[in-house]
Amino acid sequence: MKPSARAALLRWYRRQRRDLPWRRDPTPYRVWVSEIMLQQTTVAAVAPRYERFLSRFPDEAALADAPQQDVLKEWSGLGYYARARNLHRAAAEIVRRHGGRFPGEPETVRALPGVGRYTAGAILSIAFGKREPLVDGNVIRIFARYYGLAGSAKDAALQRECWSRAEKLVPKESPGDWNQALMELGATLCAPDAPSCAICPLSRDCTAFRGGDPEQFPAPAQRRSPVPVRWTCLWIEHKGRVLLWKRSEKERLLKNLWGLPESQRVPAAPGRKTATISHTITHHDVEIALREGSLRKDASLPPEASWVPKSKLRDYLVSSLWLKCLRASAAQKR
Ligand code: SF4
C-alpha cells in the first residue's frame, strides 16, 4: 500500500472514528474483554453489555474470583458461551501465573485460553503499543479489494497472504491506531455490500474500485447448508421447582450449559405440547417441541438433573434458546 494511502487511512480514522466504550481508556483488560465479546457478536449487541460486564467484573482478579455460573449469566444472550468460559479460565491464569497483571509478551498472550492470533494482535497493538499485526474478516475484505486478491475469505491461502501483508504494513508508531483504522474502515465504509467507495480514503489506488465491481472481492465462499436439529424438551415442575439438566462437554450444541432436559434423558412421561421454539445456533436450525412432563413414580434422577426454584431459573438458563422456552412457558401459564 502506498505511503500516501496509509497516511490517508490514518487521517480518516483519527477524524471519523466512532466513540465506542472500549476505545475510552484502552487498558489491556478492557481491550481484551471487548475483543472477546466482539468475536461473532455485533458492535450494536456488545455496546450495551460491555460496561455492565466491566462493572460486575472490574479487573482480572474479580473475574477470576467469580463463580463460572455468574460469568455465564452475565454473558447471557451474547452466544458462543465457550468465550465466557475461556475468559474466566484466562483470568484465573493471569492471577495465578502473572500476579494479576495482564501479560504484554506476544507468546504469553497467545497462550491464554480463547486468545488467538487476531485477539493477541489487537490487545498488544492497542493496549501495549506493540508492533503486532491483526487480520479479521474486515481486513481480509479490504486487502482483497485494495490489492485485487483472489479467493474467498475462508481460503487459507488468502488468509496467509493477508497476514503477510498486515505484518509488513503495521507501523512502529501507533500500531493500535493503524489496526483500528483497518477494522473501522471494514466495519463502516468497506462494507460487504454496497461499499462507500466515493468517500473512502483508499479509493485512489483500490484495485476493486477501479475495476468497477468491488463487491466481487473477496470471492463468495461455499455456503454450508443449515443442519436441522429437533429436540423434545420437558418442562417438569414440582413444588415451585423446575427440573434442569447440565449438558456435558460432549454435546454438539450448548456444551456445559444448563438447559431443560431432553425427553429421552429423564425417566418422565411427555405430556401436552405447550410451544414450538425455533432458534439458530451457528449453522444449526434448532427446533424444540416443548412439552409438559411428569416424572415416573419412584424414578431416580441421573446426576446431571437438578431441581431449581422457579425464581432462580434465569441464573441457570443463560442461552437465548432456553430464555425463549422460559418465556413460552410463562405465557402458557398466564
Ligand atoms: S475504495 Fe471501496 S472497495 Fe476499495 S477499500 Fe475503499 S470502500 Fe473498499
Question: How many Å apart are CA 267 and CA 2, to the nearest integer?
Answer: 68
Question: How many Å apart are CA 235 and CA 269, to the nearest integer?
Answer: 11
Range of the domain at 305: 227-333
pLDDT at 78: 94
125 found inside a domain: yes
Say how many Å lie between the CA of residue 28 and the centre of ligand 1.
31
- 318: pLDDT strictly greater than 80: yes
Instruction: Please answer whether residues 233 and 261 qualify as being in contact, where contact means their C-beta atoms are separated by less than 8 angstroms.
Output: yes
Alpha helices (H) in 129-250, listed in sequence order: 137-147, 156-169, 175-187, 207-211
Residue nearest to atom 1 of ligand 1 (CA): 203
16 found inside a domain: yes
Q: Are residues 137 and 269 in the same domain?
A: no
Q: Find out whether the beta carbon of 195 lies less than 6 Å from any atom of ligand 1.
A: yes
| Tens digits of residue pLDDT in 109-155 | 999 999 999 999 999 999 999 999 999 999 999 999 999 999 999 99
Give pTM, 2 decimals: 0.89
Q: Are residues 241 and 275 in the same domain?
A: yes
Query: How many residues are listed for the chain in this entry?
Result: 334
Residue nearest to atom 2 of ligand 1 (CA): 197
Catalytic residues: 35
Question: How many Å apart are CA 311 and CA 242, to the nearest integer?
Answer: 10
156 found inside a domain: yes
CATH number at residue 265: 3.90.79.10
Q: Are residues 14 and 147 in the same domain?
A: yes
Q: Are residues 189 and 255 in the same domain?
A: no
| Tens digits of residue pLDDT in 20-34 | 999 999 999 999 999
Cell numbers placing 1? 500500500
- 241: pLDDT strictly greater than 90: yes
Cell numbers placing 282? 451457528
Cell numbers placing 281? 445456533
The three-point CA angle 156-160-161 to 5° equals 120
221 found inside a domain: no
Query: pLDDT band at 44, cuts 50/70/90?
Result: very high
Counting from 1 in the atom list of ligand 1, the atom nearest the Cα of 195 is: 7
Counting from 1 in the atom list of ligand 1, the atom nearest the Cα of 141 is: 8
Counting from 1 in the atom list of ligand 1, the atom nearest the Cα of 217 is: 3
pLDDT at 223: 83
Question: How many Å apart are CA 8 and CA 3, to the nearest integer?
Answer: 9
Cell numbers placing 167? 505484518
pLDDT at 224: 85
